[in-house]
Structure 1
């Protein structure tokens, strides 16, 4: 298992009884729990995982755990968990059975990586789609045609340039559309988080929006791209 100390993915090895027997440094960095915090504990208590829909995923009767313990394979899956600090973290997990000393039984190796940013972007895109869809919706072909025409005529760049925002505020808005949290925006633009919050407040006021989502919907109508300048 020495190789697991070198992987960039978090790694957790679980015994036949569902208890953690290995927790690598990458897992420590990702979730904040040290090996001594989790070794010997049931994996369900360590991850306390939930599905995308908010339903409990980890339990004493874990179907995936039973399948792995019997030597079966499972597909990779996404899970919401929490870091030691309480911060919500989304992880994608790849699991595989590892031969045990007990005949016919297997340990379960779980390799996981942080996908929090991707989940936020996915949810934002879904919310924008719902917000921008007209009542009753439109046929896909009509929506696609409208977006294509907008790009060809240059309508979207015109809308973007007409926004009553400063260049810095547009930069902040583009980064918001890319799913960046305030701290990452501050780091990217070399400004303080307080300045970022002030820019966001000014954006909301200038666009007459009450939320960040509304501001993004106004700035990026269907077919618009956050990369527009």
Structure 2
């Protein structure tokens, strides 16, 4: 079972200003609880033991809110970036804090009722470098298609990458640490090499990227 997770939490949240001028996006509230706290609780229930969180914009507030993870019965370490290194750059920079050969990566700014335990109980096969959770019902343009459990370049039926996936450590060690790197580009190249598996998720999922979406999810959860 995979017991290590990285949560991406270094983004500026430009589209959610002015809220994110004083409070980072992962600390925005949904029904009285922060987005990132919901993730940590769900991961702890699924059996996760170690969480690494990358920080940049107002990151000290996230560290203050979560501490060392003991109140969640997990261990939390922080990978601090002087300026945000992008989605892939943040993962590569945090590799020294991650010990397992395979680990889960998710974004702090999504809201979902996804059950992490079955995902953590699987492992990457053969030459695969990632296993992605794709979202069927999403307002965003599709990123990839899915044939059986193989992720493919998008065709007529394309799904959104849900910002949740398993990653192979060894494949990431080739990248230089401390540089801005894009996870989307890495995944597209890996998909073209047929090195990515995936699954479709049809439950509750939202990328909280705007104030309107944050308001919508709060209204939905209050019903």
Report which of the two structures shows the higher radius of gyration computed on alpha carbons: 1
| TM-score, normalised with respect to structure 2 | 0.24
Q: Which has the higher contact order (CA 8 A, sep 6+)?
A: 2
| TM-score, normalised with respect to structure 1 | 0.24
Q: Hey, which of these two has a bigger chunk of strand by percent?
A: 2
Q: Hey, which of these two has a bigger chunk of helix by percent?
A: 1
